[in-house]
Structure 1
Amino acid sequence: MERLNFIKNGVSSLPPGFRFQPTDEELVFQYLKCKIFSCQLPASIIPEINVSKYDPWDLPGNCDDEKERYFFSSKEAKYRNGNRMNRTTNSGYWKATGSDKKVSSSINNGISGLRKTLVFYEGKSPNGSRTEWLMHEYRLLSVETSASKPIQEIGDWVLCRIFIKKRSIESDNNTTPPRQKNAVTNNVEVAEPRFFEFFSVHHNSVPAPIHSSTLSSCSSSNNVEEVSSPNHEQTSD
């Protein structure tokens, strides 16, 4: 089978109509595993780049809100004698959030994957400003659980999926003040209430409508008065 290559100058370029939407399992076992063990990839569609060298908006590829970008990134240690990865960029840093998700497969015994979610913050830690940039970082693990062979990470690569968190319509609507939002959604012209005199002289004729102003004048002529309770409190909108 001919190996497909859609990478040019470090940027993936898909043909028209092609959509790259792999699952977590496919990313871990079809791409990351093959990358680490130097096996042939299903398609050369994920470029190699050190993600920590770029701010998310400066990464190669189309920075479109509707698209996700994928990269193989080497595990650059933050400290010389440590295993912690460097997550600091020129303008900010990536910070882990939530709990990690295990990615497993029934046909890959002894190996599993791990998906870590990170959020990009502008500024210096720990006082950075949270942005809408998210990253799913995939790692390959050995699942040996014996005391002599605990769970360990495999390889020198991680696979990164970087995207912008989409804003929901509800969250945008919630920014509108309640009174203004009701005025917009309920923009219906309300007609003046009309009442009918059912006790007219001509019973067989259609009763003529009486406006509210006429009704109020009739009430005053019949000595009907409005009495308010002394304990009644007026409320304002």
Structure 2
Amino acid sequence: MDKLNFIKNGMSRLPPGFRFQPTDEELVFQYLKCKIFSCQLPASIIPDINVSKYDPWEFPGNCDEQERYFFSSKEAKYRNGNRMNRTTNSGYWKATGSDKKISSSISSNGIAGVRKTLVFYEGKSPNGCRTDWIMHEYRLVSLETSNASNSSQNYVNEIGDWVLCRMSMKKRSIESGDNSNTPRNNSGKRNNVQVDQPRFFDFLSVQNAVPADLIHSSTSSSCSSSNNVVEVSSPNHEETSGYIC
């Protein structure tokens, strides 16, 4: 848990008002490349954590507002394979979409980056429940060009034993048909909240405005009260009669 506390302490080193919001190019060539080749990092605020050892909601920070960054080692899922282990205690990370190539705007020297998008599923594969947790995994690769058969082809080879991960929780928009105000639990899943719909009455209708039993009782009481007659004297001593119900 000391490594997890390092995240919060590392972010607090930034001056007030500054935010750590690097681009994909900066993450690959300024941080991941320096990490793999043991060079000095621009800032020591990205900790070394094996992402598969923790569930996404176990990491500190505000999941709705803050992105979190980690260096994770390439732990093989199988002993004789190159596939990374992406299984956690409560679920697994599943790749989605196509990988994005990241090139350097200065000089790459045959080195590029690859960004893979993963979504966290709670439960066991392949019947897991999709959550709102998103992770971008950055890798460093080398490009080798072959001119065989009069055509150029790039061969990609991964470099190093580290990847850089950027974790966040997806924000749903109202336009997409999902109510963003629906509460979520720690795992990023929407809570099923049942809300009673308001009832509307037509006040122009007598039957809806006043119940029938009340109308009947009110009519009966007014009729019974009208039988009480009281004589009232006016100031001019002229006798008049009035009805007081």
Partner of 1:28: 28
Alignment correspondent of 2:229:
none
The corresponding residue for 1:96 is 95
2:235 — aligned with what? none
Equivalent residue number for residue 81 of structure 2? 82
- Give, in angstroms, the shift of residue 28 of structure 1: 0.2
**d(CA) in 1 for partners of 2:179, 2:108:** 46
Alignment of 1:75-154 (within 5 A): 75-106=74-105, 107-146=107-146, 150-154=155-159
Matching residue's letter, 2:112: S
Contact 1:57 1:63 in 2 (8 A): no
Q: Which runs of 5+ in 2 are unaligned?
A: 149-153, 182-197, 199-245
1:98 is paired with a residue of what secondary structure? Answer: strand
Query: Is 2:51 aligned against 1:51?
Result: yes
Q: Is the 8 A contact 1:10 1:48 kept in 2?
A: no
C-alpha deviation, 1:64, in angstroms = 2.8
**SS at the partner of 2:76?**
coil
Q: Does 1:168 align with 2:173?
A: yes
TM-score scaled by length of structure 2: 0.64
Q: Which amino acid aligns with 1:10?
A: F
TM-score by length of 1: 0.67
When the two structures are aligned, how many residues end up with a matched partner?
170
- Counterpart of 1:73 in structure 2 is 72
Segments ≥4 residues shifted beyond 4 Å: none
Q: What is aligned with 1:191?
A: none
What residue is the counterpart of 1:206 in the other structure?
none
**1:95-142: CA deviations, max 9, x gaps?**
000000000014112100000000000000000000000000000000
- The residue correspondences of 1:210-225 to structure 2 (distance < 5 A) are none
State the one-letter code of the partner of 2:6: G
Distance 1:87 1:142, change over 3 A: same
Once the two structures are superposed, what CA deviation does each residue of 1:189-221 show, in whole Å capped at 9, x if it has no partner? xxxxxxxxxxxxxxxxxxxxxxxxxxxxxxxxx
Distance 1:154 1:174, change over 3 A: closer
Bigger Rg over Cα: 2
Q: How big is the alpha-carbon RMSD for the aligned residues of Structure 1 and Structure 2?
A: 2.5
Map Cα deviations across residues 12-68 of structure 1 (whole Å, 9 max, x no partner): 323432200000000000000000000111100100000000000012x31331110
The one-letter code sitting in structure 2 at the alignment partner of 1:26 is E
Distance 1:174 1:47 in 2: 31
